[in-house]
A = this chain, B = another copy of it.
Amino acid sequence: MTMNSVLENIKQAEHNCKEHGVRLTSKRKQVLSGLLQADKALSAYELVDQCKDESGKTMPAMSVYRILDFLAEEHLVHKLDSNNKYVACSHITCSHGHEVTQFLICEKCQRVDEINIDPSMIEQLQSNVKDAGYHLISPQLEMKCLCETCFTTFPHPN
Protein backbone atom coordinates (compact mmCIF):
# COMPACT_ATOMS: atom_id res chain seq x y z
CA MET A 1 0.00 0.00 0.00
CA THR A 2 1.30 3.46 -0.88
CA MET A 3 2.35 5.79 1.90
CA ASN A 4 -0.48 8.10 0.93
CA SER A 5 -3.04 5.35 1.32
CA VAL A 6 -1.53 4.41 4.64
CA LEU A 7 -1.88 7.95 5.89
CA GLU A 8 -5.40 8.17 4.59
CA ASN A 9 -6.29 4.98 6.43
CA ILE A 10 -4.68 6.20 9.62
CA LYS A 11 -6.57 9.45 9.39
CA GLN A 12 -9.88 7.64 8.96
CA ALA A 13 -8.99 5.25 11.77
CA GLU A 14 -8.32 8.20 14.03
CA HIS A 15 -11.67 9.65 13.10
CA ASN A 16 -13.46 6.37 13.81
CA CYS A 17 -11.78 6.02 17.17
CA LYS A 18 -12.72 9.56 18.14
CA GLU A 19 -16.33 8.78 17.31
CA HIS A 20 -16.18 5.74 19.58
CA GLY A 21 -14.63 7.73 22.38
CA VAL A 22 -11.35 5.81 22.34
CA ARG A 23 -7.84 6.95 21.54
CA LEU A 24 -5.65 5.96 18.63
CA THR A 25 -2.36 6.55 20.42
CA SER A 26 0.99 6.81 18.67
CA LYS A 27 1.90 3.22 19.51
CA ARG A 28 -1.42 2.03 18.16
CA LYS A 29 -0.85 4.08 15.04
CA GLN A 30 2.59 2.58 14.73
CA VAL A 31 1.25 -0.98 14.81
CA LEU A 32 -1.65 -0.26 12.49
CA SER A 33 0.64 1.56 10.11
CA GLY A 34 3.01 -1.40 10.14
CA LEU A 35 0.22 -3.72 9.12
CA LEU A 36 -1.04 -1.37 6.45
CA GLN A 37 2.41 -1.00 4.95
CA ALA A 38 3.13 -4.72 5.05
CA ASP A 39 0.14 -5.36 2.82
CA LYS A 40 -0.06 -8.89 4.14
CA ALA A 41 -0.70 -10.78 7.33
CA LEU A 42 1.97 -10.55 10.01
CA SER A 43 2.45 -12.36 13.29
CA ALA A 44 2.57 -10.37 16.53
CA TYR A 45 6.28 -11.00 16.77
CA GLU A 46 6.87 -9.98 13.18
CA LEU A 47 5.21 -6.71 14.15
CA VAL A 48 7.55 -6.42 17.12
CA ASP A 49 10.46 -6.72 14.69
CA GLN A 50 8.96 -4.29 12.24
CA CYS A 51 8.39 -1.68 14.95
CA LYS A 52 12.01 -2.12 16.01
CA ASP A 53 13.18 -1.64 12.42
CA GLU A 54 11.04 1.43 11.86
CA SER A 55 11.61 3.27 15.10
CA GLY A 56 14.76 1.78 16.58
CA LYS A 57 12.89 1.24 19.82
CA THR A 58 11.78 -2.16 21.06
CA MET A 59 8.06 -2.58 21.48
CA PRO A 60 7.30 -5.31 24.02
CA ALA A 61 5.37 -8.28 22.63
CA MET A 62 2.85 -7.75 25.40
CA SER A 63 2.11 -4.27 24.09
CA VAL A 64 1.76 -5.48 20.54
CA TYR A 65 -0.78 -8.08 21.63
CA ARG A 66 -2.73 -5.54 23.62
CA ILE A 67 -2.69 -3.09 20.77
CA LEU A 68 -3.79 -5.75 18.31
CA ASP A 69 -6.68 -6.60 20.62
CA PHE A 70 -7.64 -2.96 20.74
CA LEU A 71 -7.41 -2.54 16.97
CA ALA A 72 -9.45 -5.69 16.44
CA GLU A 73 -12.19 -4.40 18.72
CA GLU A 74 -12.24 -1.23 16.67
CA HIS A 75 -12.51 -3.34 13.51
CA LEU A 76 -9.26 -1.88 12.23
CA VAL A 77 -7.46 -5.20 12.07
CA HIS A 78 -8.55 -8.82 11.88
CA LYS A 79 -7.00 -11.83 13.50
CA LEU A 80 -6.65 -14.78 11.17
CA ASP A 81 -6.94 -18.02 13.09
CA SER A 82 -5.73 -20.01 10.12
CA ASN A 83 -2.17 -18.87 10.57
CA ASN A 84 -2.16 -16.95 13.84
CA LYS A 85 -1.48 -13.72 12.02
CA TYR A 86 -3.02 -10.29 11.90
CA VAL A 87 -4.07 -8.21 8.92
CA ALA A 88 -5.26 -4.64 8.51
CA CYS A 89 -8.92 -4.33 7.66
CA SER A 90 -9.22 -3.45 4.01
CA HIS A 91 -12.38 -1.44 4.57
CA ILE A 92 -11.15 1.25 6.91
CA THR A 93 -11.72 4.06 4.46
CA CYS A 94 -15.08 2.89 3.18
CA SER A 95 -18.00 3.03 5.52
CA HIS A 96 -18.64 -0.60 6.18
CA GLY A 97 -20.83 -2.79 8.26
CA HIS A 98 -19.26 -5.83 9.86
CA GLU A 99 -21.26 -8.75 8.68
CA VAL A 100 -19.86 -12.08 7.67
CA THR A 101 -16.45 -11.51 6.16
CA GLN A 102 -14.60 -13.87 3.92
CA PHE A 103 -10.81 -13.93 3.85
CA LEU A 104 -8.74 -15.49 1.12
CA ILE A 105 -5.35 -16.20 2.59
CA CYS A 106 -2.32 -17.19 0.55
CA GLU A 107 -0.52 -19.87 2.51
CA LYS A 108 2.77 -19.05 0.85
CA CYS A 109 3.09 -15.27 0.89
CA GLN A 110 0.45 -14.33 3.46
CA ARG A 111 -1.27 -12.01 1.08
CA VAL A 112 -4.90 -11.61 2.10
CA ASP A 113 -8.00 -10.50 0.25
CA GLU A 114 -11.09 -9.63 2.22
CA ILE A 115 -14.04 -10.15 -0.06
CA ASN A 116 -17.74 -9.67 0.21
CA ILE A 117 -20.20 -12.48 0.49
CA ASP A 118 -23.52 -12.52 -1.22
CA PRO A 119 -26.21 -11.71 1.35
CA SER A 120 -28.24 -14.76 0.34
CA MET A 121 -25.26 -16.95 1.09
CA ILE A 122 -24.83 -15.32 4.47
CA GLU A 123 -28.46 -16.04 5.19
CA GLN A 124 -28.03 -19.64 4.23
CA LEU A 125 -24.94 -20.05 6.37
CA GLN A 126 -26.75 -18.44 9.28
CA SER A 127 -29.75 -20.68 8.85
CA ASN A 128 -27.51 -23.76 8.71
CA VAL A 129 -26.06 -22.71 12.02
CA LYS A 130 -29.43 -22.07 13.55
CA ASP A 131 -30.87 -25.36 12.27
CA ALA A 132 -28.03 -27.20 13.94
CA GLY A 133 -28.92 -25.54 17.23
CA TYR A 134 -26.01 -23.13 17.42
CA HIS A 135 -25.72 -19.38 17.81
CA LEU A 136 -23.14 -17.66 15.66
CA ILE A 137 -20.89 -15.36 17.65
CA SER A 138 -18.07 -14.56 15.25
CA PRO A 139 -18.81 -14.85 11.60
CA GLN A 140 -15.46 -14.92 9.88
CA LEU A 141 -14.75 -17.30 7.05
CA GLU A 142 -11.13 -18.05 6.32
CA MET A 143 -10.17 -19.89 3.18
CA LYS A 144 -6.68 -21.33 2.85
CA CYS A 145 -5.54 -20.59 -0.68
CA LEU A 146 -2.65 -19.87 -2.95
CA CYS A 147 -2.66 -16.55 -4.71
CA GLU A 148 -2.18 -16.56 -8.45
CA THR A 149 1.51 -15.68 -8.23
CA CYS A 150 2.36 -18.35 -5.69
CA PHE A 151 0.19 -20.88 -7.49
CA THR A 152 2.12 -20.45 -10.72
CA THR A 153 5.50 -19.99 -9.08
CA PHE A 154 5.52 -22.89 -6.68
CA PRO A 155 4.75 -26.55 -7.19
CA HIS A 156 1.39 -27.35 -5.67
CA PRO A 157 -0.61 -30.41 -4.56
CA ASN A 158 -2.88 -32.32 -6.97
Question: Which residues of A pack against B, CB within 8 Å?
Answer: 81-83, 102, 104, 106-107, 113, 115, 117-118, 121, 124-125, 128-129, 132-148, 151, 156-157
Contacts and interface: CB of A to CB of B under 8 A. Distances in A.
A134 B102 CA distance: 13
A129 B117 contact: no
B132 A113 contact: yes
Interface centre among A83, A107, A117, A125, by most chain B C-beta atoms within 10 angstroms, is A125
B102 A128 contact: yes
A133 B147 contact: yes
Contacts of A147: 133-135
A50 to B, nearest CB: 24
A107 B157 CA distance: 32
B138 A144 contact: yes
A112 to B, nearest CB: 10
Nearest to A80: B81
Contacts of A138: 107, 143-144
